[in-house]
Amino acid sequence: METITIKTLKDLPPEENLLPGTAMCAGCGGLLALRHCLKALGDKTIIVNAAGCFTLLSIYPFTPFRNSWLYTAMASAPAGAQGVRDALDILIRKGRISPEENLKVVVLTGDGTAYDMGLSSTSGAIYRNLDFYYICYDNEAYGNTGFQWSPSSPFASKTATTMPGRIIPTGAELSKKNLFEIWRSHKPPYLATISPAHPVDLVNKFKKAEQFKGPKLFISLAPCPPGWGTEPSRSANFAKLAVDTGIWALKEAVYGEIRHTFIPKKFKPVEEYLKEQGRFAHLFKPVRQEETIRKIQEMVDGYWKEARI
């Protein structure tokens, strides 16, 4: 029987650089964040990937990763991580592998899984104090299947299932679910929000998390050019603007105690973030929706007022 060897991108000749599993949407903010995350974590990791956009990264027999990769259904990634972590612990205890061969177990999901379909198994894994990293790339919709609304979609945003019109004039009618607080209610050792536009902050948070054993959450804003209606070359700009307007707060929580790791000296108006995204274009044309824009600004202002910075 012929043996097929898994290849990585560095092993491929130039003419094979566009093989299945090696290409993502141009300008994917989540992919940029993942590069930073993996540099911080190192090669001795195993990724348990829930179905989503990043499922397309590693398709047998090709992979762009140097570390191990396990693919699961959307709701099952934390359960898969439990099995991997248990197997590693047993092999080390029995002397089958040395402690130096131990791996960091990393769950990688989109917001549809993290905020919605996989929340039950995630809660169970946190409750069991599973020692794992949980990385969510948050593009604020079900991006892999047509950019449908998810519990992470911002208020008033347009998605494939919240199209502005007579029935829903403003787009999404519900506010974004607060995944950070859902995790924090479980009191795990470490939680953080990160951004591909703030790589130093991102790396520092991963380094800090290494000292803790147990569940560790990282939520990254992931600008999505096709879903957000933006230019691929400007994804990092939008990630930075989200922080500068206060829409995306960079923070961490150690055993429930919150600290903001970056606060702009002066917040920019949220309108600067909204007006250049196609998913919010209906707030400005053909008729400017002042009340909705003001409500979004008030929501952001309310968050920072409660944060008591």
pLDDT at 159 over 70: yes
User: What is the residue-averaged pLDDT of the chain?
Assistant: 91
CATH architecture of 9-14+25-307: 3-Layer(aba) Sandwich (3.40)
CB atoms within 10 A of CB 276: 18
pLDDT at 46 over 50: yes
Q: pLDDT (tens digit, 9 = 90+) per residue, 205-253?
A: 999 999 999 999 999 999 999 999 999 999 999 999 999 999 999 999 9
Residue 180 CA to residue 192 CA, distance in Å, equals 8
pLDDT at 1 over 60: no
Query: Which of residues 281 and 62 earns the better pLDDT score?
Result: 281
pLDDT at 15 over 70: no
- Give the pLDDT band of residue 65 (cuts 50, 70, 90): confident
DSSP classification of residue 230: -
Burial 30-57 (b: 16+ CB within 10 A, else e): bbbbbebbbebbeeebbbbbbbbbbbeb
Q: Are 209 and 216 in contact (CB under 8 A)?
A: yes
pLDDT at 18 over 60: no
pLDDT at 103 over 50: yes
Q: Are 200 and 247 in contact (CB under 8 A)?
A: no
The two counts, helices (H) then strands (E), for the chain are 10, 8
- Give the pLDDT band of residue 66 (cuts 50, 70, 90): confident
- Give the pLDDT band of residue 63 (cuts 50, 70, 90): confident
Token pair listed for 102:
């131990």
Q: Say which residues have a Cβ less than 8 Å from residue 184's Cβ, sequence separation at least 6.
A: 191, 253, 256, 258
Sheet holding 190-194, edge to edge: 68-72, 45-50, 104-110, 132-138, 215-221, 190-194, 250-254, 257-262
pLDDT at 14 over 50: no
Residue 228 CA to residue 237 CA, distance in Å, equals 13
Range 58-70 average pLDDT: 86
Query: Which of residues 184 and 57 earns the better pLDDT score?
Result: 184
Cβ contacts of 228-231, under 8 Å, gap ≥ 24: 228/139, 228/140, 228/277, 228/278, 228/279, 229/277, 229/278, 229/279, 229/281, 230/27, 230/276, 230/277, 230/278, 231/27
Q: How far is CA 35 from CA 67, 73, 260, in A?
A: 13, 23, 23
Query: Which of residues 254 and 2 earns the better pLDDT score?
Result: 254
For position 27, what pLDDT does the model report? 95
Q: Are 190 and 254 in contact (CB under 8 A)?
A: yes
Residue 274 identity: L
Q: pLDDT (tens digit, 9 = 90+) per residue, 161-179?
A: 999 876 677 888 999 999 9
Token pair listed for 111:
């917001």
For position 309, what pLDDT does the model report? 59
For position 61, what pLDDT does the model report? 82
Q: Would you kindly state where each structural domain of the chain is located, as residue ranges?
A: 9-14+25-307
- Give the pLDDT band of residue 308 (cuts 50, 70, 90): confident
Query: Which of residues 167 and 187 earns the better pLDDT score?
Result: 187
Range 127-133 average pLDDT: 98
For position 9, what pLDDT does the model report? 41
For position 167, what pLDDT does the model report? 65
Residue 81 CA to residue 69 CA, distance in Å, equals 11
pLDDT at 12 over 80: no
Q: Say which residues have a Cβ less than 8 Å from residue 206's Cβ, sequence separation at least 6.
A: 37, 40, 41, 218
Share of the chain above pLDDT 70, in %: 91
DSSP classification of residue 167: S
